[in-house]
């Protein structure tokens, strides 16, 4: 019987290693063309103590900090800027509360002089335009806050072509290119529809500026808040990350200002005890991979479970059983395309094998797709279906791993030697850790399916299990033939 898809190292109709892009959209990545021109942004410089003092004075004058003896204060730290404890702080103590009138969100944009031009835009695009508009104004009421924003970060979206070449073969590279392409696409749309027709309101905004605003929002905005997709919180967004903090509890929330107040407050807590003079730190997100941390913030962690790799599986529309397979996938919480994240050192994602077997199902096994099996087929797919089906998925995964590994420019051993040597440029260290982590996962996946290939002759398949259920197979696996008396 003919299989329903082709599986080779060069082409697979159901499996890919391209990681889905998640900037503020699910667009597929493709190589961007960026045009860098004169920008409204100043050259990259470290934040001076004068600028920081001005910002702190602005914070106090505006009433962002209402307490005369604040528990935290902004300061210059190794990461750039951070929040410094002014006294000993207890675990889970509230260290900062910022009223809504000092947030920068969609409401802020709507109430501003560019609000009438931004209706219907994606929230992040509207906020990006607001930041750039205010940054171009010398008399902006947000000037003191804008002056402390970094002109660039170590996020991979700001890396040079030479630096990005160190990510050769990684999913992070394709995601970074996709993110830049996404920003370019959004910029071209908003340039045509809003910026150019209203030059008096949006002077000299370039694509490079727009990428900067995207990076600011990606790295500094708070999300998953009550009623807020994301929002910039001046002062609070100086909080830095501590990898040693592993609590699942969020360190921030939006809450009411009091029993008789309707004003909302952004409340920031310290997840650990802090001594006076030390930084107040939080955990940004335990679920983010090193690649995501690198894309958003420009750093990685040493924890092995931060290393992930995403395989994308798809039921081909040319599959003669496409509709049946899609129905089964959707009935079990999956779809035509499914993404499976592999974590270094962890077992296979739970639904991976059933979905693989479903996608590969064909030939003499296709009878399982008939409607009479519909309520039970996912249970069947939890276990091997046939030797041909199991062998096919092993070959597909191993071919995919082999192809992906061949795309890297270095070996794991070469990467580890670089890391052991130390004194790496921060961006190079990020690149080496990400690419080494991805390769280790690919080798781990390949090893799992290599071992599985060696077990193909001893695995128990659907037909054998079915015969056992009917009492037609003996203890030694021999088929029982009933003879008439």
Q: What is the pLDDT of residue 390?
A: 97
Q: What is the pLDDT of residue 8?
A: 31
**Residue 27: exposure state from Cβ atoms within 10 A (0-12, 13-18, ≥19):** middle
Nearest to 148 by CA among 81, 203, 211: 81
Q: What is the pLDDT of residue 35?
A: 26
List pLDDT tens digits, range 94-141. 999 999 999 999 999 999 999 999 999 999 999 999 999 999 999 999
Q: What is the pLDDT of residue 6?
A: 34
Question: Which residues in the chain come in under a pLDDT of 50?
Answer: 1-12, 25-45, 481
Nearest to 128 by CA among 44, 187, 180: 187
CB of 210 within 8 A of CB of 187? yes
Residue 234 token pair: 């001046």
d(CA 459, CA 472): 18
Residues flagged as binding site for substrate = 220, 224, 237, 252, 284, 297
What DSSP element (H or E) covers 73?
strand 72-77
Residue 191 DSSP code:
I
CB of 133 within 8 A of CB of 114? yes
- Mapping DSSP to helix (H, G, I), strand (E, B) and coil, where does residue 224 land? strand
For the 49-103+233-291 domain, the top CATH level (class) is alpha beta
What DSSP element (H or E) covers 228?
strand 228-231
Q: Helical H runs in 136-223? A: 143-146, 161-164, 171-190, 207-220
CB of 362 within 8 A of CB of 324? no
HSE at residue 111, side-chain half, CA atoms within 13 A, is 8
- Mapping DSSP to helix (H, G, I), strand (E, B) and coil, where does residue 267 land? strand
CB of 379 within 8 A of CB of 427? no
Q: How many helices (H) and strands (E) does the chain have?
A: 15, 12
pTM, rounded to two decimals = 0.86
d(CA 192, CA 35): 16
Q: What is the pLDDT of residue 26?
A: 37
Sign of the alpha-carbon torsion through 361, 364, 370, 373: negative
Nearest to 172 by CA among 415, 434, 403, 440: 434
d(CA 378, CA 387): 18
d(CA 289, CA 307): 6
Q: What is the pLDDT of residue 28?
A: 35
Residue 81 token pair: 């800027």
Q: What is the pLDDT of residue 66?
A: 65
Domain with CATH 3.90.1420.10 in the chain: 302-466
Domain with CATH 3.90.1410.10 in the chain: 49-103+233-291, 114-231
Residue 127 token pair: 């906020």
d(CA 301, CA 290): 6
Place of tokens 């064909």: 362
d(CA 318, CA 277): 64
| Dihedral pair phi/psi, residue 409, rounded to 5° | -95, -5
CB of 419 within 8 A of CB of 436? yes
What is the set of active-site residues?
A: 284
Residues flagged as binding site for S-adenosyl-L-methionine = 79-81, 220, 240-241
CB of 362 within 8 A of CB of 385? no
| Dihedral pair phi/psi, residue 300, rounded to 5° | -130, 170
Instruction: Please tell me the total number of residues recorded for the chain in this structure.
Output: 485
Place of tokens 């995964």: 397
| Dihedral pair phi/psi, residue 231, rounded to 5° | -155, 140
Residue 185 token pair: 């696409």
Q: What is the pLDDT of residue 31?
A: 28
Q: Which CATH superfamily is domain 114-231 in?
A: set domain protein methyltransferase, domain 1 (3.90.1410.10)
d(CA 131, CA 476): 74
Residues flagged as binding site = 79-81, 220, 224, 237, 240-241, 252, 284, 297
Of all residues in the chain, what percent are helix, strand and coil, respectively (each to 5)?
A: 45, 15, 40
User: Taking the CB of residue 406, how many other CB atoms lie within 10 A of it?
Assistant: 9
Residue 351 token pair: 């639904």
| Dihedral pair phi/psi, residue 125, rounded to 5° | -65, -45
Q: Which CATH superfamily is domain 302-466 in?
A: Rubisco LSMT, substrate-binding domain (3.90.1420.10)
């Amino acid at each position: 019987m003919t299989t329903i898809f082709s599986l080779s190292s060069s082409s697979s109709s159901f499996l890919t290693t391209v990681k889905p892009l998640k900037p503020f959209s699910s667009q597929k990545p493709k190589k961007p063309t960026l045009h860098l021109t004169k920008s409204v942004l100043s050259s990259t410089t470290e934040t001076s103590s004068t600028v920081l003092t001005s910002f702190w004075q602005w914070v106090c004058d505006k009433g962002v900090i209402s307490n005369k003896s604040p528990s935290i204060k902004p300061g210059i730290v190794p990461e750039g800027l951070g929040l410094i404890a002014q006294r000993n702080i207890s675990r889970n103590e509230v260290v900062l509360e910022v009223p809504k009138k000092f947030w920068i969100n969609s409401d802020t944009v709507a109430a501003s002089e560019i609000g009438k031009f931004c209706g219907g835009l994606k929230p992040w695009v509207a906020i990006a335009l607001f930041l750039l508009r205010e940054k171009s104004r010398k008399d902006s009421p947000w000037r003191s806050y804008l002056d402390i924003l970094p002109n660039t970060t170590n996020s991979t979206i700001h890396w040079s072509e030479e630096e990005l070449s160190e990510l050769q073969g990684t999913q992070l590279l394709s995601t970074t290119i996709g993110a830049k392409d996404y920003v370019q696409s959004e910029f071209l749309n908003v340039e045509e529809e809003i910026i150019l027709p209203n030059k008096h309101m949006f002077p000299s905004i370039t694509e490079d500026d727009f990428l900067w605003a995207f990076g600011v929002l990606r790295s500094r905005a708070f999300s998953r808040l009550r009623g807020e997709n994301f929002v910039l919180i001046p002062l609070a967004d100086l909080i830095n990350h501590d990898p040693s903090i592993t609590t699942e509890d969020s360190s921030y929330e939006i809450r009411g200002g009091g029993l008789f107040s309707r004003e909302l407050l952004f409340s920031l807590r310290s997840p650990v005890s802090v001594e006076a003079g030390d930084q107040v730190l939080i955990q940004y997100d335990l679920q983010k991979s090193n690649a995501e941390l690198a894309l958003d913030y420009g750093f990685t962690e040493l924890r092995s479970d931060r290393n992930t790799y995403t395989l994308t599986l798809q039921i081909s529309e040319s599959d003669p059983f496409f509709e049946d397979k899609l129905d089964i996938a959707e009935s079990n919480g999956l779809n035509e395309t499914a993404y499976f994240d592999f974590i270094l050192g962890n077992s296979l994602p739970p639904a991976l094998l059933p979905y693989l077997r479903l996608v590969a199902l064909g030939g003499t096994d296709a009878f399982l797709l008939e409607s009479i099996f519909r309520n039970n087929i996912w249970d069947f797919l939890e276990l091997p279906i046939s030797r041909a089906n199991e062998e096919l998925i092993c070959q597909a995964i191993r071919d995919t791993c082999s192809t992906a590994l061949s795309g890297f420019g270095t070996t794991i051993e070469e990467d580890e030697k670089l890391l052991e040597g130390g004194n790496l440029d921060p961006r190079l260290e990020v690149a080496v850790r990400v690419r080494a982590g991805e390769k280790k996962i690919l080798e781990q996946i390949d090893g799992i399916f290599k071992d599985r290939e060696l077990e193909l002759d001893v695995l128990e398949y659907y037909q054998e299990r079915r015969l056992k259920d009917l009492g037609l197979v003996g203890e030694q696996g021999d088929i029982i033939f009933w003879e008439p008396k």
